[in-house]
Chains A and B, each alone.
Chain A
Amino acid sequence: MIYLKLFLIFLKIGAFTFGGGYAMLPLVADEAAAQGWLDSETMLDFVAVSESTPGPFAVNIATFVGSRTAGVFGAVCATAGVVLPSFIIILIVSKFLAKFRENRFVSGAMTGIKPAATGLIAAALFAAAATVFFPAGLSGARFAEPSFYLSAGIFALAAVLAFKKLHPIAVVGVCAALGVAAGYAFGL
């Protein structure tokens, strides 16, 4: 059943994402592709939507995937699933907060999880870059298309803006405007 499946898959995602935010992206992308829920372009669109709307990224992305897959009730199931593991764990941990953090198994596990989560985000970036720059797979013909260079130019500008600490919403806004201008100018 789709509702149960959404709930369980997002439960798993919620239980294995540390640090929140973009750390969730590789897991969601992997599941969405495996289940055939979203294509990788819709996934990227949605990262932008999530950056431009309030609330935790994890909740946003669960709601979006759930609603796209199975409507309002699907959104409820996915969101409940992604929230539940941290809800239960914090309820338990809140009784002995300091002891938890000083536990050598917890801190030991974190020395492995932190760089692993960073590596997973690097892999998600790699896959996202492939979607943007080579949507039809790697081929020489792609270098003859203007959209390749337009994407590269917009990416370079956005990277400069993002690293100059421009707010993500502003970055998304600038890129949307550039996309519209480029689209009409080059008839993409």
Chain B
Amino acid sequence: MNVYADLFLTFAKIGAFTFGGGYAMIPLIRRETAEKGKWISDEELTEIVAVAESTPGPIAVNAATYVGSRAAGFFGALLATLGVTLPSFCVILALSFLHSEFHELTPVRYAFFGIRAGVLALILRALFLMWKQTPKKVFSYAVFAAAFAVCAFLPIHPVIVIAVCAAAGIVFSLVSERRRAEK
């Protein structure tokens, strides 16, 4: 098969069969690429997951772009990214029309009454998982508390919060690096 078609179809399959996105997608990407000896090695995939954490955007898109670009340059990256995006795009487009058609129906309204309370639990769990990955340092706790307070109680855009915290992180690391060097 043509490498472009192969990239597109492989990533369309990955996009169509991963629920929840993000890290759930990594094992499937590994099975479809590295394990089949295709495009990238196991080590590269591990590396890309680490890099995906320090670059913005969905991890699935980051991984697809990287694998595609390594396999077949710019157009490879484009087709892999298109492939991973297209299935959810189509499914969601259909569901968004269904939701606006049917959300006024009594049973659907009741179902979403229950679901909304359940979603709180899912967000709580996501928060818990992220909290576990946060370094156990005073600096992290302070940034966490400040970001929460500012975003919850002040009309300040989250993008500004992220940018300020990134700058604070750089200053903090450079200062603690210098302190270590002085000792």
Contact = CB atoms under 8 A, between A and B. Distances in A.
Contacts of B163: 16
Contacts of B55: 18, 86, 89-90, 93
Interface in B45-71: 47-48, 50-62, 65-66, 69-70
Interface of B: 15-22, 25, 44, 47-48, 50-62, 65-66, 69-70, 74, 77-78, 81, 84-85, 87-89, 91-93, 95-97, 99-100, 103, 106-107, 109-128, 130-131, 133-135, 139-141, 143-148, 151-152, 157-159, 161-163, 165-174, 177
A56 B61 contact: yes
Interface residues of A, number: 110
B118 A155 contact: yes
Given A58-B58, A120-B147, A108 B130 contact: no
A18 B134 CA distance: 13
Contact of A158 (B117, B143, B171): B117
18 contacts: A19-B130, A22-B130, A52-B19, A55-B87, A59-B21, A82-B58, A83-B81, A90-B55, A118-B147, A128-B120, A131-B116, A150-B117, A154-B117, A159-B125, A175-B118, A176-B114, A177-B111, A183-B109
A179 B21 contact: no
B60 A20 contact: yes
A82 B92 CA distance: 15
B112 to A, nearest CB: 5
Query: Main secondary structure on chain B at its contact with chain A?
Result: helix
